[in-house]
Structure 1
Amino acid sequence: MWRNRSQFVSGRAEIVDFLKQKWNRELEYRLIKSLWAFGDNRIAVRFAYEWHDHSGNWFRSYGNENWEFNESGLMVRRLASINDVPITEADRLFHWELGPRPNDIPELEEFRL
């Protein structure tokens, strides 16, 4: 079961469809996650990511995620609270090439977000 903003999805097939729609809408997605807490079978992270829509409007999305895993290590629950803030292209902070964040890009805390 996943909650993403106000949307609820459950089951692997629904989650795959959800992610396809998300990544079709949120283009040139660049993400930084920071571990917040962990214990037993749960992890909490905070994050920020930048993206633009098909019209070229840029956004920075902030939030927190809570993950819960089963005995096999598979995620059984993801709760995400996310706020989207419109930004200009000049306000962007995440400028690396598409793909994983390079090692020389600072952690989220260093961006003071």
Structure 2
Amino acid sequence: MPASRPPLPPFDLDGALAKVQAAEDAWNTRDAHRVALAYTEDSVWRNRDVFLAGRDEIVAFLTRKWERERDYVLRKSLWAFHWNRIAVRFQYEWHDAAGQWYRSHGNEQWEFADSGLMSRREASINDVPISAADRRWTGPRAPHEHGQDLPLR
């Protein structure tokens, strides 16, 4: 495992944007083990009403999440940053086992260790049922889409 994950804090605009894009790209793989490597061994999370600590709990949580949230596609947008903290807003689309589609809207606050690994993640998320026809995304962003802000609805 890498001892550090650049860019490192303190973040400038380019570093914060790179962290947000790296997170989006990793989460869109839906590979819980790969995603967990971006977090410190003792990282703490609040995800909705679930509280986690450590990579093993993160991997277990993400594995369950992506078993339930099928065909998950995520978009993240930088909201703000300062020193070793980044705030993002995000939307993702997914469907359940019955085929109902959802768009989940949320905000996250991230705190990073000096190594560039995330030591704290707090996420607030709301789910909105949508029709399959209302889906916006079917896969990773095209290169020309990176850095674009998210639509409000």
**Under a length normalisation based on structure 1, what TM-score does the superposition of the two structures give?**
0.88
Paired positions, count: 109
Residue 54 of structure 1 aligns with which residue?
97
The structural deviation recorded for 1:108 is 3.5
**Under a length normalisation based on structure 2, what TM-score does the superposition of the two structures give?**
0.67
Q: Deviations over 1:63-100 (max 9, x none)?
A: 000000111111110000000001111121223xx3x3
Greater fraction of residues in strand: 1
Over the aligned positions, Cα root-mean-square deviation in angstroms equals 1.5
Q: Deviations over 1:21-71 (max 9, x none)?
A: 111111111111100001111000001111101111100000000000111
- What is the identity percentage for the equivalent residue pairs of Structure 1 and Structure 2? 60
1:22 maps to 2:104: no
- Tell whether the 8 Å contact from 1:30 to 1:101 is kept in structure 2 after alignment: no
- The aligned amino acid for 1:102 is A
After TM superposition, the runs of 4+ consecutive aligned structure 1 residues lying more than 6 A away are: none
1:3 maps to 2:46: yes
Specify every segment of 5 or more residues in structure 2 that has no aligned partner in the other structure, as ranges: 1-43
1:40 maps to 2:83: yes
Residue 116 of structure 2 aligns with which residue?
73
Query: Aligned partners of 1:68 and 1:17: how far apart in 2?
Result: 21
